[in-house]
Structure 1
């Protein structure tokens, strides 16, 4: 993979300046180079200060690091593509009295298109395309048909009709097409079927910030469905159906390099095709409603190395946050208030009374173990009697060890302590994953299938058993499951 997705020289100017009709760039533009990395780091290095400031201003700007108001427009050399850069911060430079001065900027957003950006209007778009490169196995793309005889080999492709789902105020569609070189005579042929999720807005248009937010949330759902860290490429925007595409780049975490593998997916697209639009719509609401209850799990899926204690604590914190939103604490019962007050009144020493007031319960909130057990009990899974309660109590105890003691309560075998929380973390991760998809409306049969008769169910069952959770052997997949599932390759 090349070190940069974009690396090109061009001319750049302040975006609020209007370019004359007979010019390709503003008269005050300065040359420079634009680079965009795979993680969306956007660097602009200019051969002269932007806006041609006076010498005093040049020096003050050199020592001012941090955010800069406004945005930058530009045109790239060779391709004639137009550029818009937003979320600017100064990133160094130098100034000379007898030679050229330079400036450098970082940007949080970069738009590139063959269409000019209007300096006088807020950039808004009606279409968002999210390429699904690397997710072909999840989609099970197999529309290229090959026929071979003794003397001929032929390949045919009929583009499937786009699949559509109606969402509130917008339409979601899955478009598929074939990509590759086409010529009357070729020495070799390489065709690839590709796909993209397209969000078409019929009412409210999108800003670049809206597109980044939507792409990130949709990517997180795909990470859960594929059970991978692959993610999606940078999205493409359009003002109208026929307008030139606008490539959008922004800072993000590095994606996993390996393509998705069909038999490791939580639920392939073929199995969740019909409810996919509803699941996505539920997911977008779930994401906003539960906040940290979603984010703390997804933070464990970013491919970052974490210490065992940190990973375990973040999973428990996430479940606790999820429970607090799903089951708000009831109003404190008057009997509890009266009981606490009687105890405080019976304590003669003010110092002791103040201490007791800090530690006596002020509300009827459930314990952490109760929260964990109640949440996991909502999954469509049945465990052997008492195991879920015991598991939740172990998790609560270990969380308290980590949060209040930094790990072990007393000196001892640290390796045994770490081994225990890693077993608990693995089981919590599997169940937390299923719980989020269950809350998003993934059919019950598909949630159960992950643990009962799916392609990788043996691995999930092994993780649970290592943590002391045994699924009842007489569980069956919920009614309504496609009878052909067991004989198909998740299509």
Structure 2
């Protein structure tokens, strides 16, 4: 079993079963094990079977994947409360003269120290909290100072104020600080652990379901991916009920998601560190939420090449080109007609025979559209990089040509060594993978000065400029 898999024993029962006053679980509760894998696959292996209107063992014989009511539970070691939703059967064993048992799977699991609200429908939450473990270098907000001499080691921590931003709908996001350290007072220890704990918190103006907050969590993780340039996985979020620290109930939220082994972002590899965007962070996050919806595939096709997903070189390349093409179409969907479009309309308007006019309209339908290379040029010109016009044109023509070769010929157009073709695609990928997120950041409101610093003089600029120089793009 994976070391990150959670496995804990407890009692489980159908949701909203009445609990006797002097007990902690219903009479119908069945012992079993809750198992949650690192990527969020959730299951319970019962040591018996839950009650049913039909014969309890009937669920075993109808096969796996059948929908069931939600299941509540109480864990043995931690005494925490559990709620599994979107539950389905997962087989079991009917044994005559032996022990019969059944297993269940679930799409979502909530675990917390407080009882979950009684509700016939979905539970409504006020927000979510995500530990920023692994993002400390990107945050650059360390507040533990140490001083050491031959005779003394002193560690000093000054409590930081939480950093709060109000969004346009009056919801808030915040970066909040806590400290893991020995208890108050004086003690003598042979070893101590002091660690700053930082969390990202979202408090919604309106209550939301767990499904809505799950979608929000994925949007947050993608936002951090764009800012850091790292595929590092965020920790599991917690969903919260209550709007103040004193009355908030918190439940860890588990669900199926893609995980990878990417290392935490380091400051010298980050595209934009938090201190450089601290003042604008709330606005950038707001714009990210808006643009993610507005631009659709223009965002998702880039993100699909990230998140630790392994793609063939060709697949990654066409995804990047498709994404930029979609981005350009969306950004220019309301653009006024070009001179070429107006000319085509005048010519079509002079044809009197309806059949001929319809034929010509079909022939000219796409003739006035910009070429793929022209679309790529216009997307890259959104950045304040001032590439030489000829170099940019050559680069975009090559990208368009290679995309067409892969789309229409499955690879290179002419016979030859495929390794050379892949090598060129690999270099184009590296350049596009630095250009594309910079365009996204520009559209989300990052100013040109920050972009220039990021691409030309920042900590990651040497790596970025190397990939651009390799394909003939030299920043002036």
The 2-side partners of 1:422 and 1:342 are apart by 49
Map of 1:80 onto structure 2: 79
Map of 1:432 onto structure 2: 436
Map of 2:203 onto structure 1: 200
The 2-side partners of 1:50 and 1:4 are apart by 28
Map of 1:245 onto structure 2: 250
Structure 1 residues 59 and 417, CA, compared in 2 at 3 Å: closer, same or farther?
Answer: same
The 2-side partners of 1:26 and 1:59 are apart by 22
Residue of structure 2 aligned with 1:227, choices 224, 229, 234: 229
* TM value normalised by structure 2: 0.90
The 2-side partners of 1:343 and 1:39 are apart by 62
The 1-side partners of 2:52 and 2:99 are apart by 12
The size of the alignment, in residue pairs, is 466
Structure 1 residues 403 and 24, CA, compared in 2 at 3 Å: closer, same or farther?
Answer: same
| 2:158 pairs with 1:158 | yes
| 2:292 pairs with 1:287 | yes
Residue of structure 2 aligned with 1:321, choices 313, 317, 326: 326
Map of 2:128 onto structure 1: 128
- Unaligned residue ranges in structure 1 (runs of 5+): 473-491
The 1-side partners of 2:68 and 2:324 are apart by 40
Using the TM superposition, give the Cα deviation of residue 269 of structure 1 relative to its aligned residue in structure 2, in angstroms: 0.7
- Once structures 1 and 2 are overlaid, which stretch shifts more, 238-247 or 296-305? 238-247
Using the TM superposition, give the Cα deviation of residue 327 of structure 1 relative to its aligned residue in structure 2, in angstroms: 1.1
- Once structures 1 and 2 are overlaid, which stretch shifts more, 232-241 or 431-440? 232-241
Structure 1 residues 344 and 186, CA, compared in 2 at 3 Å: closer, same or farther?
Answer: farther
User: RMSD between aligned alpha carbons?
Assistant: 2.8
Using the TM superposition, give the Cα deviation of residue 150 of structure 1 relative to its aligned residue in structure 2, in angstroms: 4.3
Residue of structure 1 aligned with 2:344, choices 313, 336, 348: 336
Map of 1:92 onto structure 2: 91
- Once structures 1 and 2 are overlaid, which stretch shifts more, 436-445 or 140-149? 140-149
| CA distances 1:423-474 after superposition (whole Å, capped 9, x unpaired) | 11111111001111111112322211122111221111110111121111xx
Structure 1 residues 108 and 270, CA, compared in 2 at 3 Å: closer, same or farther?
Answer: same
Map of 2:47 onto structure 1: 47
Using the TM superposition, give the Cα deviation of residue 98 of structure 1 relative to its aligned residue in structure 2, in angstroms: 3.0
The 2-side partners of 1:345 and 1:417 are apart by 49
Using the TM superposition, give the Cα deviation of residue 354 of structure 1 relative to its aligned residue in structure 2, in angstroms: 12
Using the TM superposition, give the Cα deviation of residue 67 of structure 1 relative to its aligned residue in structure 2, in angstroms: 4.9
Using the TM superposition, give the Cα deviation of residue 200 of structure 1 relative to its aligned residue in structure 2, in angstroms: 2.1
- Once structures 1 and 2 are overlaid, which stretch shifts more, 266-275 or 334-343? 334-343
* TM value normalised by structure 1: 0.87
Map of 1:174 onto structure 2: 175
SS in 2 for 1:371: helix
| 2:311 pairs with 1:306 | yes
Using the TM superposition, give the Cα deviation of residue 53 of structure 1 relative to its aligned residue in structure 2, in angstroms: 5.4
| 2:120 pairs with 1:104 | no
| 2:453 pairs with 1:462 | no
Using the TM superposition, give the Cα deviation of residue 402 of structure 1 relative to its aligned residue in structure 2, in angstroms: 1.0
Map of 1:476 onto structure 2: none
- Unaligned residue ranges in structure 2 (runs of 5+): none
